[in-house]
Structure 1
Amino acid sequence: MRNLIKQIAKFGVVGVIAAVIDFGILNLLVTVHVNSVLAGAVSFLISLVFNYLASMKYVFKHRDDMARWMEVTIFFISAAIGLGINEIILWGGVALLPPDAIHTMHARYVLYTNIAKIVATLVVAVWNFIIRKWLLDAPAAGTPIQTGSFAHRLGAWSLDRHPFGWK
């Protein structure tokens, strides 16, 4: 349990830094009148690169029973689902504003965008931790690999396949 709490804390630190990157880029783009959904996608994708590198270095441990290409694939597929969740929540956050709100009520539009982004960030963070813990995180040192688990079967399958010559 102590290791899980430490891991969640590390995930939180990485997540806060990624969120600062995400919110900073989002607000920069919205301030120059980029649509909130487009701005949200751009900021999310840029922060995702940081998140992958930091998460796999500091939070989660590479599974020896999984090829690196599969790890990257799982990370980015789960991130694409997270992006979809992010976009739906951002869209919903400003959907009730009048169509001309981006120009006539710009401050309100930015406020609604940021409130929606906070909600989206929290929902996507929970999604990301659960899916990455389940599929990407190696068992604790000294803990045997659960050979019947979905993560192990997927990892073992990936070791036998090398798309594009990846190892």
Structure 2
Amino acid sequence: MNNLMQQIMKFGLVGVFCFFVDYFIYLGANVLFENVGIAAAFPKYYLISALIGFTVSVVVNYILSFKFVFVRRDDMSRKKEFVIFLILSIIGMGVNELCLFVGIDLIYMHWAWLKGIMSEGFAKNIFFKFGATGVVMVYNFITRKIFLEQKD
């Protein structure tokens, strides 16, 4: 159990670092889209921002995960490992996008009392983004442990 806890802690540290990579790219893209007028033409621009941030963070996460967190399988090529990692990450991205869509478009935009206690910017950039990230982190750890890590 001690090794599992250490692994979860390492995964958490890598995840926090990759979250900041994802998050700051997400925020930067949102600001860019808002300032060049894309937000007016495409109201769901934040989903594109999330996709860009998520994509960059996946590459960083792959490198750091196999350097510090998971033990590579001896029976799997690096190409196959990356493809599986990418597929799992794309599913995770879908979960992330779904969480943002449900949180912002289906909950926040239709619940007046929620709009009364938090701004749209806070809802998009903090509340639902952090919630989506938490859900995806749990998914990522479990699926990578099952499909990519060397079994004892």
Q: CA deviation at 1:70?
A: 1.5
Q: Distance in 2 between matches of 1:55 and 1:69?
A: 15
Q: How many residues align?
A: 132
Which one is further off, 52-61 or 33-42?
Answer: 33-42
Q: Tell me which residue corresponds to 1:111.
A: 122
Partner of 2:10: 10
Contact 1:30 1:110 survives alignment (8 Å): no
Task: Say if 2:101 is the partner of 1:91.
Answer: yes
| Aligned-partner SS, 1:76 | helix
Kindly indicate whether the alpha-carbon contact (under 8 Å) linking 1:92 and 1:116 is maintained by their aligned counterparts in 2: no
C-alpha RMSD of the superposition: 1.6
Aligned counterpart, 2:71: 61
How much has 1:93 moved relative to structure 2?
2.4
Divergent runs of 4+, >4 A: none
Structure-1 residue corresponding to 2:141: 129
Percent of aligned positions that are identical: 39
Q: CA deviation at 1:69?
A: 1.6
Spell out the pairing of 1:34-49 with structure 2 (5 A cutoff): 35-49=45-59
- Paired with 1:94 and 1:22, the residues of 2 have a C-alpha distance of 18
SS at structure 2 position matched to 1:137 = coil
Instruction: Give CA deviations for 1:38-78 in whole Å, capped at 9, x if unaligned.
Output: 10111111111110100011101110011222111110000
Query: Aligned equivalents of 2:104 and 2:5: distance in 1?
Result: 35
TM-superposed deviation, 1:20: 0.7
One-letter amino acid of the structure 2 residue matched with residue 56 of structure 1: F
Aligned equivalent of 1:73, options 80, 83, 97 = 83
When you count helix as a share of all residues, which structure comes out higher?
A: 2
Q: TM-score, normalised by structure 2?
A: 0.81
TM-score normalised to structure 1 length:
0.74
Q: CA deviation at 1:8?
A: 0.4
**Alpha-carbon offset, residue 89 of structure 1:** 1.0
Task: Return the alpha-carbon distance in structure 2 between the equivalents of residues 108 and 46 of structure 1.
Answer: 28
Give the number of the structure whose alpha-carbon radius of gyration is greater. 1
